[in-house]
Amino acid sequence: MKKQRCSEKINLFDLLSEEIVFIILDCLNTNPFDKKSFSLVCKSFYITESKHRKKLKPLRQEHLPAVLIRYSNTTHLDLSLCPRINDHSLFAISKITSFTLQSIDLSRSWGFSSSGLLSLTLSCKNLKEIDISNAVSLKDAGAAALAEAKNLEKLWMGRCKMVTDMGVGCIAVGCKNLKLISLKWCLGVGDLGVGLIAVKCKEIRSLDLSYLPITNKCLPSILKLQHLEDLILEGCFGIDDCSLAALKHRCKSLKVLDMSSCQNISHLGLSSLTSSIGGLQQLTLAHGSPVTLSIANGLKKLSMLQSIKLDGSVVTRAGLKAIGDWCVSLKELSLSKCDGVTDEGLSYVATKHRDLRKLDITCCRKISDVSITHVTSSCTGLTSLRMESCTLVPREAFVLIGQRCRFLEELDLTDNEIDDEGLKSISRCSKLSVLKLGICLNITDGGLAHVGMCCSKLKELDLYRCVGIMDSGILTIACGCPDLEMINIAYLKDITDSSLLSLSKCSRLNTFESRGCPLITSLGLAAIAVGCKQLIKLDIKWCHNINDVGMLPLAHFSQNLRQINLSYTSVTDVGLLSLASISCLQNMTILHVKGLSPNGLAAALLACGGITKVKLQAAFKQLLPQPLIDHLQARGCVFQWRNKVFQAELDPKSWKLLLEDTVP
């Protein structure tokens, strides 16, 4: 008996080494609650999980010291969900994680100064990555503090508009191991600062100079970087043909180049540049000069090119034909919103570049079934096809996509004439994970049933304003696509709680958009809350039958919820206040909710400790106490006041006719 009792007390996990338990924990990545549940089993599990966790993404700065003490092995700290991080918090981080911290993300945070940054960089000697994007008040003193991170390898400084060449110069001198730096929208940085980075930081692999007021002066130094692979010059209006023509240095290592919105560069400048970067694999020239025969011929020297993006540019027939004549075999071609794309040009390109894997022809309104016939017969290995608003393509052409392109993983058919026969054919693409069918008015439950039965890997489904879809179609999707993470059923007027009850079985659902569904009630929403505990984003605007009864299950079960739109619902003070128990909640839109009072709204906002953004009717600005607004803003909350008048929703078909009248 004694031996039996002893054996009952043995914890089998005690027989495993810590390394083996860590391997087990590495496998618990599907559900964010799994590791938390593991840590709550017993004290030893709690300690083991604390040692194992390396990455943290806390919600509030006030909990930082306690959290960091528990997770003493933290190497990556993501503070993007904490809108206000003051110097005191950075001092605490510096003290607790001085030996372990390697990466910190402050891209959505504000409230700290150069003193806090200096403490961080001096104490955390192993710091290799810092993201300080959107620190619009950061000055050269802050940049000088960053320069103390001697082992820094990656630095993001997007929109640090007050930093000048002097601050960037300090970083260049202090952080000589930099491999990546983003200076996008750092409007105070010019040729001098960029030149210092190029001269001092010889290990640079990736350089983002988007929208900087630079000229040709710094380009020679940049192209001398022996390891540079990724160069982004989007919106650099100071670079022109003359500056590129003067280049004499070759950059053999460069693989990715983005020169979008560089309006002063023609085929002459591009020809000079491409002769210096023969190993380029990906080129982006979106919203630039017209793609003519001269430009296309100038790019044919790029023998290693695999991807070209021309979004928003004017494409001539001769230019597109010349792209088809390139010797290289393109893997990706993006012509989104390109004026001038015709059946003749696109068909020619498709027949020449048969190895295409990704094709984007969004809003190419001049193409017809002729283009689809050539694309599907020539590019059978496509994994991504985006063709939103290709309105001249008849419904019969969509059958060809399913018949010939079986490897598709992403398909965007928004605002097209596809019908049930097309959906039946597309269901043969068993690898589909993303399917967008918004504003496809010819599809019904019958066609969607084929998708539900055959596309079990589907993760994202957009049915926005698909008026022919009802409960039975959603049921087949819910039953056949268990890994569904996002679904948009906005403005499906005939959808009822039955659809929500079936979708509640999709436990991985994190984004649910059901605005404009007048028949769904709090009962259906409660089912979603109970079954979909990973829910992050919820839009129930115009759902008049959802009231406080639906808010209570949300408050109890949807603890991961971060964003909610309650506009035009029947929620009152009680329901809104109950949502304050969701610690993750950060973003709320509350317009024309008649059941709310100023006092109830004030109490709810004050109780939501993590709220960072609220969109409210402008009338509330005068009704809420100004000290309350000031307090919330000091806590990191941004208010957006709207004067939008109450308006009834249009019927979906009338809405599309109105849209077509406004599109040229």
The single residue listed with the structure tokens 């060809």 is 400
Mean pLDDT calculated for residue range 415-428: 97
User: Which of 222, 312, 298, 227 minimizes the C-alpha distance to 265?
Assistant: 298
Q: What are phi and psi of 284, to 5 degrees?
A: -120, 120
pLDDT in the model for residue 657: 54
DSSP 617: E
Show the tokens assigned to 172.
């260049």
Q: Mean pLDDT check: name the lowest of 95-104, 288-297, 402-411, 566-575.
A: 288-297
Mean pLDDT calculated for residue range 558-587: 96
User: Band of the pLDDT at 661, cuts 50, 70, 90?
Assistant: low
User: Which of 173, 174, 172, 181 minimizes the C-alpha distance to 153?
Assistant: 181
Distances, alpha carbon 663 to alpha carbons 363, 440, 658, 660, in Å = 11, 17, 9, 5
User: Band of the pLDDT at 11, cuts 50, 70, 90?
Assistant: low
pTM, to two decimals: 0.92
User: Which of 441, 448, 384, 383 minimizes the C-alpha distance to 416?
Assistant: 441
pLDDT in the model for residue 274: 78
pLDDT in the model for residue 79: 95
Angle at 604 between CA 598 and CA 605, to 5 degrees: 90
pLDDT at 655 over 90: no
DSSP 236-294: -TT--HHHHHT-----TT--EEE-TT-TT--HHHHHHHHTT-TT--EEE-TT-S-B-HH
pLDDT above 70 as % of the chain: 95
Mean pLDDT calculated for residue range 327-354: 95
What residue type is assigned to position 545 of the chain? N
Mean pLDDT calculated for residue range 4-14: 60
The single residue listed with the structure tokens 């959505």 is 108
pLDDT, greater one: 8 or 503: 503
pLDDT in the model for residue 505: 97
- Do 296 and 269 form a contact (C-beta atoms < 8 A)? no
HSE of 320 in the Cβ direction (CA atoms, 13 Å)?
23
The Cα–Cα gap between 463 and 473 comes to 11
pLDDT in the model for residue 654: 55
Question: What angle, 0 to 180 degrees and rounded to 10, lies between the N-to-C axes of helices 369-378 and 343-352?
Answer: 0
Q: 313 exposed, middle or buried (CB, 10 Å; 0-12, 13-18, 19+)?
A: buried
pLDDT at 8 over 70: no
Distances, alpha carbon 593 to alpha carbons 247, 555, 566, 597, 645, in Å = 61, 18, 7, 9, 12
pLDDT in the model for residue 648: 60
pLDDT at 664 over 50: no
pLDDT in the model for residue 1: 45
Average pLDDT, the chain: 92
Q: 251 exposed, middle or buried (CB, 10 Å; 0-12, 13-18, 19+)?
A: buried
pLDDT in the model for residue 28: 81
Radius of gyration of the chain (CA): 28
pLDDT tens per residue, range 239-259? 988 877 766 667 889 999 999
pLDDT tens per residue, range 83-105? 889 999 999 999 999 999 999 99
- Do 458 and 432 form a contact (C-beta atoms < 8 A)? yes
pLDDT in the model for residue 46: 84
Contacts of 378 (CB under 8 A, 6+ apart): 350, 351, 353, 354
Mean pLDDT calculated for residue range 354-362: 97
- Do 588 and 554 form a contact (C-beta atoms < 8 A)? no
pLDDT tens per residue, range 164-182? 999 999 999 999 999 999 9
Contacts of 392 (CB under 8 A, 6+ apart): 365, 366, 367, 368
pLDDT in the model for residue 309: 97
User: Band of the pLDDT at 127, cuts 50, 70, 90?
Assistant: very high
pLDDT in the model for residue 61: 86
